[in-house]
Structure 1
Amino acid sequence: MSSPWSLFLTNRAITMDTAISLLVLSMLVQHVVPEVPTVTSFRAVVEKVSGDSRIFSGESVRLRCSIPDIHSSRWNYQWFKGSERLPQSEEVFILWKARVTDSGKFYCQGSRDTAVGNIYTLESLPVEINVDGGWAILQVPPHPALVGDSLQVTCRVRGNPPLHEVILYKDGVEVMTQKDGNPHFHLDNLTLKEKGMYSCRASWDTDRRTRSVISVDAPVQVVEVLSQPVLEIVADNNLVSAKMMKLICHVQYNARAPAPPINYYFYKNNNRLGTATSENHDLVRRTPGWYSCRAKVPQLDLSRFSESKSFGRVPGPQPTMPTVVHRRNLQPLVPSVSSPGLYFPPAAEPTPAQPSPQQPTAAPTFIQPTEARTESSVPPPSQPPPGALPSLVQSVNQTATPNPKALFEETDDMSGDSGDMPEESGDMPTNSSSAVIY
């Protein structure tokens, strides 16, 4: 007959075996079930449904978050301003009667509840909204313009009074004046010299007095269609054969979609190596000499050469090569620019001016700003105007990829400060400064 002590030991052993078996099973389940990714390859996209990137305080902007899901799955939406998560969770986000403090970069992200947990999309690229508490805003295109293009800028005044003079400034210097009160300025046949910070001043008469306001600076960016190429020579034995070296032609290509194809040529001592290729790299024999490359867009008759770069001991001076070749001049396209004129009550009454000899009853008055905001633009390389291009700007930074060559035939060688009003008057009446969803 078993003693109580032996029964206790037997039961304890059975319990320990059971626990060990369960532990082994749980570990096996963890190894068998694959880990489900929590982030998809989809990237959410934010688009402006109404409003502009620059608005007056008291105006509204409507944004929409869309997810390029071909399966039409049901998604939830999360909205962010900078690092702050906003309480809204709908597809459409409304920044209602915005205040100056509502300025910022807004973006969204999609989420979906599944049997294995929540799955998230990649965060969208941000959309920046600037809320101005002043009296004037210079509306400029949000995307860089291309050399040779035309663009329109608009001087908006709070309340849309009947203007009698509008002046456009670039880097603080007057460049255009319109006496008929037309708030739209056209910049034609752009060059890199037109890049800079622009502002506007508008004047109008009211109560037998002339009032004048000035906008905050806004950046106008102008970029080349094709930057000057930069040649890179790779002669690392770990990357290429000891008898060969790799020539890589780096270039910034900005064109409107669908972008015409770009061809590459490589040269040694000004003599072309092989035929044109759609790839921006080539393998050549490792020999001393002066090497260069050329990028050409045949449909635009645009071609640019890089500076020559030496490899090994090369006698003689550096050879010179042309930088640009144009076969014909193409007329630039004029993109349409819409300028909505929304009416909102004035933030505060401008200060009237004292009469002057030229105007016995009125004189211009400048409304001094109380807060400055500046934006920077990216300086592009130097380039003469190319010509007309199709629509929608896209920027492609060419890099080396080991794809097969595609051969082509070559036919030639070739500040104002912000007029931010006081808090009690610059913002329109509202119960809440936060965004709301309809």
Structure 2
Amino acid sequence: MDKLISLFVFSALSQIVVSHVHTEASFRANIELVSEHSRIFSGERARLRCSIPDVHRSNWTYLWFRGSEELSQTGEELNLWNTKVQESGKYYCQGTRNTKVGKIRTQQSLPVELKVDGGWAILQVPRHPQLVGSTLEVTCRVRGNPRLEEIILYKDGVEVMRQNGHKPDFYLTNLSLEDLGVYSCRASWDVRRQTLSVTSAGTHVQILEVLSQPILEIIPNYDTQLKRMKLTCHVQYNAPAPAPPIDFYFYKNNRRLGPATSDNYNLVKQTPGLYSCKARVPQLDLSKSSEPKNFGLRATGNFPPAASLPRFPNLSSHQPIQFTPVKSTPSQGPPLKTSQPVPTTLLTTDQVFNSATTQNQANPFEEPGDMSGDSADSL
């Protein structure tokens, strides 16, 4: 009987241990590109670092992945020497350690994309999206750093800027959403009375509004006891920290429902009407209004039927919110040219590299200082 009990206990303990093998910790590994640029020439070096947000500072082993392939390195840093075009891809890392109940792994990090270019020219752009109104700096790099005579910048295949080769950097000032696109550069230099020209692969430039247009979500029967519904104003706010505060305003039939609030939601009586919201950043002089949304009104020429919108997650004060900036006056800068198409002249040399490609809608409601709206519907 004792042998049976011992066997049962051993079996139960084995099941407990097995059930905890390869469990994931509740936190995610973080990956960082230590190198300055994510697009490099073949033969250059790239370095990535992995970190685990563990306050107990446990001893972790680091796993590295390129796509779904697990790499042999296990250190905190991943060093890629004399890179090859084939090493382009999305890189991930993950932490693992042994415990008394088995091996524990963190969640896999978000990816970092590395592009190894086997060509002659690279247009280097910032890794992170740029904001409307800011200045974008891009650099046209040529393998071997020859003395350049002329550099041309293209957007979506059309020339936008040209300058002599002594300054390979271009500056696009006062960015707008119209500057979104795929950029490339063409560089020329002279060697033994021969002009050589190379064109880089295209690189996508992302530009974000500081404040996006809000979307109003209406949740009926949110408080059935008091017959109230919930109005939520969904926006994205991309201002760098410390970001100025945002004020939210809610409207029914063009009349404001109470004063401004720092919360992006409001509970109001559930009554038919045309509802909307506005987000405003006073310090940046930015504001944006949502499209009016019909709730409980018959469809007429003035009031279109309410559109069904997808549910959005609730936003907290710690989550990013977005706004649409007032269009500023373009600052002084080099004039843009939009006439010459991309040349197709390629480098002619005996050495060959494997090229790798790699509103503010006029608010119909009163301004924030105008408190003429009836707040009786707001509880």
Does the TM-score normalized on the shorter chain lie above 0.5? Answer: yes
Match of 1:76 among 61, 72, 76: 61
2:172 matched residue in structure 1: 187
The answer (yes or no) to whether the contact 1:144–1:222 under 8 Å persists in 2 is yes
2:237 matched residue in structure 1: 253
What code does the residue aligned with 2:6 have?
L
The answer (yes or no) to whether the contact 1:166–1:201 under 8 Å persists in 2 is yes
1:351 matched residue in structure 2: 348
Describe the SS at the equivalent of 1:255: coil
- 1:253-279 deviation per Cα after TM superposition (whole angstroms, max 9, x unaligned): 211112222221110011111222222
1:436 matched residue in structure 2: none
1:57 matched residue in structure 2: 42
Alpha-carbon offset, residue 151 of structure 1? 1.3
1:426 matched residue in structure 2: none
1:288 matched residue in structure 2: 272
What code does the residue aligned with 2:62 have?
Y
2:74 matched residue in structure 1: 89
- 1:359-416 deviation per Cα after TM superposition (whole angstroms, max 9, x unaligned): xxxxxxxx9996544xxxxxxxx879xxxxxxxxxxxxxxxxxxxxxxxxx5469xxx
What are the equivalent positions in structure 2 for 1:132-147 lying under 5 Å apart? Answer: 132-147=117-132
Unaligned regions of 5+ residues in structure 2, if any? 305-322, 332-345, 362-367, 372-379
Tell me whether 1:271 sits opposite 2:271 in the alignment.
no
Distance 2:75 2:163 in 1: 44
In angstroms, what is the RMSD of aligned CA positions? 3.3
2:6 matched residue in structure 1: 22
C-alpha spacing 1:212/1:96, structure 2 compared with 1 (3 Å)? same
1:241 matched residue in structure 2: 224
Query: Equivalent pairs: percent with the same residue?
Result: 56
What code does the residue aligned with 1:261 have?
P
1:313 matched residue in structure 2: 297
The answer (yes or no) to whether the contact 2:211–2:325 under 8 Å persists in 1 is no
The answer (yes or no) to whether the contact 1:296–1:303 under 8 Å persists in 2 is yes
Distance 1:116 1:31 in 2: 11
C-alpha spacing 1:179/1:204, structure 2 compared with 1 (3 Å)? same
C-alpha spacing 1:29/1:44, structure 2 compared with 1 (3 Å)? closer
1:67 matched residue in structure 2: 52
Describe the SS at the equivalent of 2:149: strand
C-alpha spacing 1:104/1:34, structure 2 compared with 1 (3 Å)? closer
Describe the SS at the equivalent of 1:22: helix
Distance 1:94 1:28 in 2: 44
The answer (yes or no) to whether the contact 2:210–2:324 under 8 Å persists in 1 is no
1:102 matched residue in structure 2: 87
1:126 matched residue in structure 2: 111
Describe the SS at the equivalent of 1:128: strand
Alpha-carbon offset, residue 303 of structure 1? 1.0
Describe the SS at the equivalent of 1:125: coil
The answer (yes or no) to whether the contact 2:49–2:76 under 8 Å persists in 1 is yes
Q: Normalising by the residue count of structure 1, what TM-score does the alignment of the two structures yield?
A: 0.68
C-alpha spacing 1:331/1:67, structure 2 compared with 1 (3 Å)? farther
Alpha-carbon offset, residue 25 of structure 1? 4.0
1:148 matched residue in structure 2: 133
Tell me whether 1:262 sits opposite 2:246 in the alignment.
yes
Distance 1:184 1:33 in 2: 59
Q: Normalising by the residue count of structure 2, what TM-score does the alignment of the two structures yield?
A: 0.78
C-alpha spacing 1:212/1:85, structure 2 compared with 1 (3 Å)? same
Higher relative contact order (CA 8 A, sep 6+): 1
Distance 2:195 2:17 in 1: 76
Distance 2:86 2:132 in 1: 36
Distance 1:71 1:232 in 2: 42
Alpha-carbon offset, residue 93 of structure 1? 0.9
Describe the SS at the equivalent of 1:21: helix
The answer (yes or no) to whether the contact 1:308–1:318 under 8 Å persists in 2 is no
The answer (yes or no) to whether the contact 2:180–2:207 under 8 Å persists in 1 is yes
Alpha-carbon offset, residue 46 of structure 1? 1.6
C-alpha spacing 1:29/1:94, structure 2 compared with 1 (3 Å)? closer
2:148 matched residue in structure 1: 163
Describe the SS at the equivalent of 1:163: coil
C-alpha spacing 1:79/1:28, structure 2 compared with 1 (3 Å)? closer
Alpha-carbon offset, residue 78 of structure 1? 0.8
What code does the residue aligned with 1:241 have?
T
Distance 1:330 1:173 in 2: 24
Match of 1:202 among 178, 184, 187: 187
The answer (yes or no) to whether the contact 2:288–2:360 under 8 Å persists in 1 is no
What code does the residue aligned with 1:255 have?
A
The answer (yes or no) to whether the contact 2:215–2:234 under 8 Å persists in 1 is yes
Tell me whether 1:217 sits opposite 2:214 in the alignment.
no
The answer (yes or no) to whether the contact 2:297–2:303 under 8 Å persists in 1 is no
Name which one, 1 or 2, has greater alpha-carbon Rg. 1
What are the equivalent positions in structure 2 for 1:39-58 lying under 5 Å apart? Answer: 39-58=24-43
What are the equivalent positions in structure 2 for 1:276-425 lying under 5 Å apart? Answer: 276-313=260-297, 317-318=302-303, 350-351=347-348, 372-373=357-358, 411=369
C-alpha spacing 1:263/1:250, structure 2 compared with 1 (3 Å)? same
Distance 1:220 1:79 in 2: 28
What code does the residue aligned with 1:22 have?
S
What code does the residue aligned with 2:285 have?
D
Tell me whether 1:114 sits opposite 2:73 in the alignment.
no
Count of aligned residue pairs for this structure pair = 330
Alpha-carbon offset, residue 109 of structure 1? 0.9
The answer (yes or no) to whether the contact 1:41–1:121 under 8 Å persists in 2 is yes
The answer (yes or no) to whether the contact 1:106–1:129 under 8 Å persists in 2 is yes
The answer (yes or no) to whether the contact 2:119–2:356 under 8 Å persists in 1 is no
C-alpha spacing 1:240/1:177, structure 2 compared with 1 (3 Å)? same
What code does the residue aligned with 1:125 have?
L
C-alpha spacing 1:34/1:140, structure 2 compared with 1 (3 Å)? same
